[in-house]
Chains A and B, each alone.
Chain A
Amino acid sequence: MKAVEVKELTKRYGTLEAVKGISLSVEKGEIFGLLGPNGAGKTTTINILCTLQKATSGEAWVNGFPVARQRDEVRRSIGLVFQDPSLDDYLTAYENMSFHAWCYGVPGGVRRERIRMLLEMVQLWERRNDQVKTFSGGMKRRLEIARGLLHYPAVLFLDEPTLGLDPQTRRRIWEYIMELREQEGLTIVMTTHYMDEAEPCHRIAVIDEGRIVALDSPEGLKRRLGGDVVILETDDNQGVALELERRYSLAAELRDGSLRFTVDRGSQFIPELMRSLGQGIRSINLRRPTLDDVFLSLTGHDIRDEKPDSRAEIRAHFRQRGGPRR
């Protein structure tokens, strides 16, 4: 049995088709990433998998249960960290945990132990009796992660778990997630639009405009690019691009005033390049491909070319910093 199985899933909002036929499966114990820009349909997909929204067509199973028909079984099988905060700010950290434990029927005997263990793990035990509204964005996120694990879920869904957090906090949160996975043998399905955040995944589905454009391990994805990424700045970009095409059959792409292409064994190619085209070159940058490069080559646009949807991120950011309260 797969941890998650999705077949031809679609979701329509009026005339907008947010998810256009996604199929994938996630193995038990896997860390699976959905990587894509804002508005790609990641949250919509997660919401369907966790029974918060109904699919327009297609089917999905989580932990062996069909999400459309056995909602409660699915709900009991999953832990969730939503994209936007979902804590009760007026309750304390401990009360938020207790509320969750009650909702999921965690038996009284283990409840206290479990809450204590998780709060200690995310280093919030000392603050357990403080109201959540006094917490920073990072602390709230940690609390949400602890809460998502409280009822021993089989699959943990993390929707942009580190959105709006500073790099240190992001790293810390990833450490917790990894530690927890080791301990509990969890399956993790996460979404992100930070490329570096997707690196620890076993497999990544690159998703753009509601479609999966590639599905592979991070290494596999990078291998597809074929070699290393070279970025050239020259006096005459047009001319150099033509030369590259003619002499080496390399398709260079002009972006932000520089040429970018991928080539096998880049370190040996550069001396050769200097010999043939040396005069006009102002700078050369050679590097291993990143997932950013992969995304760019798969979709033809940068993952950070934000759609108007980045509004959602600003809002999330604002809230985590403790925006207006009633």
Chain B
Amino acid sequence: MMEMLRAIYIIWYRELLRFVRERSRMFSALAMPLLFLVIFGAGFKNLVGNLAGGVDFVTFMYPGIVAMSVLMTAFMSGMSIVWDREFGFLREVLVAPIPRMGVALGKTLGGATVAMLQGCLLLFLAPVVGVALTPIKVALLLPMLLVVALAIASLGVLIASRMRSMQAFQFLMTLVFFPMTFLSGVFFPVTNLPPWLMLVVRVNPVTYGVDAIRQLFLQGMTLPAVNPSLGINPTLGALGASPGKDAPYALAVTLFGHPMTMLQDMGVVALFGAVVLSLAVWSFNRQD
């Protein structure tokens, strides 16, 4: 047990050290979401105007951008095992008398921590985009970000533990990470989408994380509004969401016609995270 904690601690600590050292990685993980915020925000604002519930588009996007920054950093950190393998450092770790499970857990925790830090940096922008943050909101936000970051860092570790080449990395970013991010409601409300895309959105676990974070951010800012195009399970065919006064949040994701509360959203993410983390530990353990 002590061995395990020691392993987790060392690997976690190295992850933090690297984060501090690799400024370029930090900046790109900051610059990209900011760029999106400015470009999309400015571009779409005129196009879209206000969203359902009277939410300003930039205000809508901002929580998504925070989420995206966290997602990206967490995923990249988990995936950095691929670089460790390519540049040889992984062998130093694998041949050390420390439990592999601890290495996988430490990597996940480290990636999540770094991602949280990154996300927190973006919180300083809140006043600029007109989002009011209260201490309570921040206190609630941190554990949320942590759960999301842990889940996605685990996903990175799981994929990286099976990956042998750097080429596959680009492929995975394009085919897994970007679709997962873009189809999670980071940039646009996941409403009014064709049914098949809607299905992808609902299957995508990231959607729920983003939804929860956004609900928290925008809490108290939106009016319950009618939005019939929102969140109808196409196979059920019913306009079953029956959004109305009791709808917790007008832009919320629905599952089988039921608008998800923050807690339920987080439940989905946590469940997904737990499964992926177990798989990641198992997979990392088995590699040679």
Instruction: Say whether A associates with B.
Output: yes
Determine the chain B residues whose CB is within 8 A of the CB of A89 once the complex forms: 87
Please encode chain B, from 44 to 71, with 1 for each CB lying within 8 Å of some chain A CB and 0 for all others. 0000000000000000000000000000
Check: B14 CB closer than 8 A to any chain A CB: yes
Residues of B89-116 at the interface with A, using a CB-CB cut-off of 8 Å, are 89, 91-98
B95 and A84 contact, CB distance less than 8 A: no
Q: Which residues of A contact B17 (CB under 8 A)?
A: 90-91, 95
B10 and A82 form a contact (CB under 8 A): no
In the complex, chain B residues whose CB is within 8 Å of the CB of A325: 87
In the complex where A84-B88, A88-B18 touch, is A53 in contact with B97 (Cβ < 8 A)? no
> Residue of B at shortest CB range from A91?
B17
In the assembled complex, how far is the CB of residue B36 from the closest CB belonging to chain A, in whole angstroms? 22
CB distance from A62 to the nearest CB of B (A): 12
Residues of B within 8 A of A71 (CB): 97
Q: A102-B6, A319-B87 are in contact. Are A91 and B14 (CB under 8 A)?
A: yes
Does the CB pair B10–A99 fall under 8 Å? yes
Q: Report B182-227 residues with CB < 8 Å from chain A CB.
A: none
**Contacting residue for B6 out of A84, A90, A105, CB 8 A:** A105
For A, the interface residue count at a CB cutoff of 8 angstroms equals 30
Residues in B neighbouring A87, C-beta threshold 8 A = 88-89, 92
Give Cα A229 to B18, complex, Å: 56
Question: Bound state CA distance, A91 and B10, in angstroms?
Answer: 13
Contact of B97 among A52, A95, A104 (CB under 8 A): A104
CB-defined interface of A205-248 with B at 8 Å, one 1/0 digit per residue?
Answer: 00000000000000000000000000000000000000000000
Tell whether B22 is near chain A: CB-to-CB under 8 Å.
yes
Contacts A53-B288, A89-B87 given: A103-B94 contact, CB under 8 Å?
A: no
B22 near A103 (CB under 8 angstroms)? no
Query: A52: nearest residue on chain B (CB-CB)?
Result: B95
A90 B97 Cβ-Cβ under 8 A: no
Contacting pair B18 A91 (CB below 8 A): yes
- The distance in angstroms between the C-alpha atoms of A88 and B288, with both chains bound, is 20
Question: Are B14 and A103 in contact, with the CB atoms below 8 A?
Answer: no
**Which positions 243-290 of chain A face chain B at CB distance < 8 Å?**
none
B272 within 8 A of A: no
| A-B residue pair count with CB separations less than 8 angstroms | 65
Complex CA distance for A319 and B14, rounded to whole angstroms? 22
Nearest Cβ on chain B to A133's Cβ, whole angstroms: 9
Q: A72-B97, A104-B97 are in contact. Are A88 and B14 (CB under 8 A)?
A: yes
Establish whether residues B22 and A90, one from each chain, have CB atoms under 8 Å apart when the complex forms. yes
Which secondary structure characterizes the binding site on chain A?
loop
Residue in B closest to A82 when the chains form the complex, CB atoms: B91
Task: Please provide the chain B residues from 151 to 208 with a CB less than 8 Å away from any CB of chain A in the complex.
Answer: none
Interface pair B91/A54, CB less than 8 Å apart: no
Contacts A99-B14, A102-B10 given: A85-B95 contact, CB under 8 Å? no
Q: A90-B21, A91-B14, A326-B83 are in contact. Are A103 and B96 (CB under 8 A)?
A: yes
Is the CB–CB distance between A52 and B288 below 8 Å? yes
Question: In whole angstroms, how far apart are the Cα atoms of A84 and B31 in the complex?
Answer: 34
Taken together as a complex, chains A and B put the C-alpha atoms of A52 and B98 apart, in Å, by 13
Residues in A with CB closer than 8 Å to B92 are 82, 86-87, 100, 103
Q: Does A23 contact B (CB under 8 A)?
A: no
Q: Are B96 and A52 in contact (CB under 8 A)?
A: no
Question: How far, in whole Å, are A255 and B88 apart by their CA atoms in the complex?
Answer: 40
Q: Which of B83, B91, B96 contacts A104 (CB 8 A)?
A: B96
Closest to B14 in A: A99
Q: A52-B94, A103-B97 are in contact. Are A85 and B87 (CB under 8 A)?
A: yes
CA–CA, A51 and B21, complex, Å: 32
Q: Which residue of chain B has its CB nearest to the CB of A79?
A: B95
Flag A41-56 by CB within 8 Å of B: 1 or 0 each: 0000000001111100
- Across the interface, which residues of B come within 8 angstroms of A50, CB to CB? 95
Which of A54, A91, A102 has the largest count of B CB atoms less than 10 A from its CB? A102
**CB-defined contacts of B21 to chain A, threshold 8 Å:** 90-91, 131
Q: What is the distance, in angstroms, from B75's C-beta to the closest C-beta of chain A? A: 15
Once bound together, how far apart are the Cα atoms of A85 and B92, in whole Å? 10
Q: Would you call A111 an interface residue if the criterion is a C-beta within 8 Å of the partner chain's C-beta atoms?
A: no
> Complex formed: what's the CA distance from A76 to B96 in Å?
7
Residue of A whose beta carbon sits closest to that of B288: A53
Q: Which residues of B contact A86 (CB under 8 A)?
A: 88-89, 91-92
Closest to B10 in A: A102
User: Closest Cβ of chain B: how far from A82's Cβ, in Å?
Assistant: 6
* A80 in the interface (beta carbon within 8 A): yes
Q: Does residue A75 face the partner (Cβ distance < 8 Å to B)?
A: yes
The residues of A that contact B83 with a CB separation of less than 8 Å are: 326
A/B interface sample: 12 pairs, CB < 8 A: A52-B91, A71-B97, A75-B96, A82-B92, A85-B87, A86-B88, A88-B14, A89-B87, A102-B10, A103-B7, A103-B93, A319-B88
Known: A52-B94, A95-B17. 11 other contacts (CB 8 A): A50-B95, A52-B91, A52-B95, A75-B96, A86-B92, A87-B88, A87-B92, A88-B89, A89-B87, A91-B17, A91-B18
